């Protein structure tokens, strides 16, 4: 094991040894992100395997919540491993994180399903997701700090941007492995058992990653502090117990990371869910288009990281926030128009409206599948939500039986409160059959016709999303490293990063789908990233300092 350090390079040029270290660090991080995002890409399949005791919609939402659970604990992983990184070193800490990540990912691949061991299956799945989240919470701060402390000052943005590409490349790698498995095994086998192969395959990637990280040298900046006995004795207390540092943490969280997080997850994960769950695009087709957009857009992360070395970190990131705020709604409308033109045309020519007494309408988000809708408004909205039909609401006088207006045609809903179960079920079936026939007749499809998809325009929309991701994501590692003192850097930068990405970003798919289910508007979920990005734009503009010319050695 190589434990020597490469001397700190102040010459302004990156040596070949430093390039090797940065490449090795980035490659290991790619594999770790691969492990983490496998679950997100397979949420629908995993939901059917581990949450099969509830209906399909509830199973998918539970799967998303289990996905979010890994994000929820990331800040705690940031504290645990950030403290270790500031106390014992950058290298050994993120060697531990990849071992934890790889082991838990492999275990997901061999975990028995709900049909085999009952409730124990989803419980163990969530435990493994929590371990993944803890490991990832310690990974990013270590990798970003490690690379930044080897990079020459005037290229820090460009070199740390390579760490930023690892999240996208890891996601991209997971999509490729999933697609390859789907194509080789077939859809039926994939849904049954072959979905486990990408998880088990992670053993090979982890073995490579561990070997790579064991050959790395410790950060010269950390060794310099160690030699001078200036390392922090209590990094958590120092980082979060002194107002001057807490203030920087809050600025980092709300002025940078929260906005970056929602843009990142909207631009990649929510776009994928929107294509497959809302627009009913074939999963293989949707994954291929997302992968193509990532392949084209990922080099832009390095470009914008390098640009921030010349013009500053702040203007590049703030412009990314602004573009997301302005263009996200048009882009998602564009995805509908070009990915499912029949659906888009139906929305334009025959808009759907639910006319009802607002006091008779319930909140339609029902993740546990236990609510029993018996009022006319709820029965109508529940069917439309399950059918992914975009609808608007119109108030009616109190006591009015709800009805659905499709274009100029009206179909009355049914109120089965007080009606016998058998008769009530029949009335609901009859109503849903009539409404289903009507919405299909005006062009509301159940799936997107692959012959009608405008692939170049869909790809252009997705590249637009990835472009905003690159603008805010490319410079962020350098910004966070430069924002905090060396002795508490690993701890101080990790917590806001993982609160932002773990909580604001990780809960985006669940929150967005809840907004869609509650309002009936398939675009309502886009409000979440737009509003959070607007908050970061304002706070970042007024409070975030420019860090480009700062030295990172205290």
Phi, psi torsion values for 36, nearest 5 degrees: -70, -40
CATH superfamily for domain 16-340+449-543: MFS general substrate transporter like domains (1.20.1250.20)
Kind and range of the H or E run holding 394: strand 391-395
3-class SS of residue 395: strand
- The predicted-structure confidence for 187-242, as pLDDT tens digits, reads as follows 889 988 999 999 998 888 888 878 877 777 666 666 676 676 666 677 777 778 78
* Measured distance CA(500)–CA(249) in Å, rounded: 11
Answer whether 51's CB lies under 8 Å from 122's CB. Answer: yes
* Measured distance CA(298)–CA(260) in Å, rounded: 15
Question: Nearest-CA neighbor of 529 among 518, 547, 515?
Answer: 515
Q: Exposed, middle or buried: residue 545 (CB in 10 Å: 0-12, 13-18, 19+)?
A: middle
- Per cent of the chain over pLDDT 70 is 87
Across 12-26, 372-386, 520-534, least confident range: 12-26
- Domain residue ranges in the chain: 16-340+449-543, 350-441
- Residue 430 scores a pLDDT above 60: yes
- The predicted-structure confidence for 258-312, as pLDDT tens digits, reads as follows 999 999 889 888 998 899 988 989 988 998 898 889 888 889 999 999 999 999 9
Answer whether 463's CB lies under 8 Å from 298's CB. Answer: no
What residue has token string 């409730």? 119
Q: How many CB atoms lie within 10 A of CB 352?
A: 23
Give the confidence band of 372 by pLDDT, cuts at 50, 70, 90. low
SS (H, E, C) 186-253: CHHHHHHCHHHHHHHHHHHHHHHHHHHHHCCCCCHHHHHHHHHCCCCCCHHHHHHCCHHHHHHHHHHH
* Measured distance CA(136)–CA(198) in Å, rounded: 19
* Measured distance CA(230)–CA(235) in Å, rounded: 12
- The predicted-structure confidence for 96-107, as pLDDT tens digits, reads as follows 888 888 888 899
Across 4-13, 28-37, 373-382, 471-480, least confident range: 4-13
3-class SS of residue 406: strand
Residue 5, pLDDT score:
45
- Residue 369 scores a pLDDT above 50: no
What is the CATH topology of the domain spanning 350-441? Answer: Glutaredoxin (3.40.30)
Question: Nearest-CA neighbor of 302 among 163, 170, 162, 169?
Answer: 162
Phi, psi torsion values for 391, nearest 5 degrees: -140, 160
Residue 135, pLDDT score:
84
């Amino acid at each position: 094991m190589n434990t020597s350090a490469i001397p700190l390079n102040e010459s302004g040029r990156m040596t070949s040894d430093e390039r090797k270290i940065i490449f090795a660090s980035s490659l290991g991080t790619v594999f770790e992100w691969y492990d983490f995002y496998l679950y997100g890409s397979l949420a629908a399949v995993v939901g059917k395997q581990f949450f099969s005791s509830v209906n399909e919609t509830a199973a998918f939402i539970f799967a998303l919540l289990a996905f979010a659970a890994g994000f929820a604990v990331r800040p705690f992983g940031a504290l645990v491993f950030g403290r270790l990184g500031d106390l014992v070193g950058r290298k050994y800490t993120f060697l531990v994180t990849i071992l934890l990540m790889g082991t838990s990912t492999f275990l997901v691949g061999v975990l028995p399903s709900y049909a085999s061991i009952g409730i124990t299956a989803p419980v163990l799945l969530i435990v493994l997701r929590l371990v993944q989240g803890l490991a990832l919470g310690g990974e990013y701060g270590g990798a970003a700090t490690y690379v930044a402390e080897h990079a020459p000052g005037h290229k820090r943005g460009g070199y740390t941007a390579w760490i930023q590409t690892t999240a996208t490349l890891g996601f991209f790698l997971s999509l490729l492995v999933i697609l390859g498995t789907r194509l080789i095994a077939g859809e039926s086998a994939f849904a049954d058992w072959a979905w486990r192969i990408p998880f088990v395959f992670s053993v090979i990637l982890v073995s490579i990653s561990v070997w790579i990280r064991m050959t790395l040298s410790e950060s010269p900046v950390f060794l310099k502090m160690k030699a001078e006995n200036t390392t922090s004795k209590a990094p958590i207390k120092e980082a979060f117990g002194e107002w001057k540092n807490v203030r920087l943490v809050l600025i980092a969280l709300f002025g940078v990371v929260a906005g970056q997080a929602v843009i990142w997850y909207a631009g990649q994960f929510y776009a994928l869910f929107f294509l497959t769950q809302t627009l009913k695009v074939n999963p293989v087709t949707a994954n291929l288009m997302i992968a193509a957009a990532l392949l084209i857009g990922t080099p832009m992360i390095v470009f914008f990281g390098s640009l921030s070395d010349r013009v500053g970190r702040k203007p590049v990131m703030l412009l990314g926030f602004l573009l997301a705020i302005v263009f996200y709604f048009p882009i998602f409308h564009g995805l509908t128009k070009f990915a499912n033109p029949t659906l888009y045309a139906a929305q334009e020519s025959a808009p759907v409206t639910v006319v009802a007494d607002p006091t008779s309408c319930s909140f339609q988000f029902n993740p546990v599948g236990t609510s029993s809708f018996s009022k006319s408004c709820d029965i109508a909205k529940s069917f439309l939500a399950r059918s992914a039909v975009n609808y608007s609401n119109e108030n009616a006088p109190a006591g009015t039986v709800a009805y659905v207006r499709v274009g100029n045609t009206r179909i009355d809903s049914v109120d089965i409160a007080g009606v016998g179960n058998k008769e009530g079920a029949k009335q609901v079936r009859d109503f849903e059959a009539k409404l289903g026939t009507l919405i299909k007749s005006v062009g509301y499809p159940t799936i997107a016709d692959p012959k009608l998809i405008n692939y170049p325009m869909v790809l252009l929309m997705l590249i637009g999303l990835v472009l905003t991701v690159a603008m805010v994501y490319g410079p962020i590692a350098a910004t966070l490293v430069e924002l905090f003192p060396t002795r508490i850097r690993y701890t101080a930068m990790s917590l806001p990063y993982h609160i932002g990405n773990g909580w604001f970003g990780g809960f985006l798919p669940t929150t967005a789908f809840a907004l869609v289910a509650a309002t009936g508007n398939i675009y309502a979920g886009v409000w979440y990233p737009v509003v959070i990005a607007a908050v970061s734009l304002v706070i970042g503009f007024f409070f975030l300092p420019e860090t480009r010319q700062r030295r990172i050695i205290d």
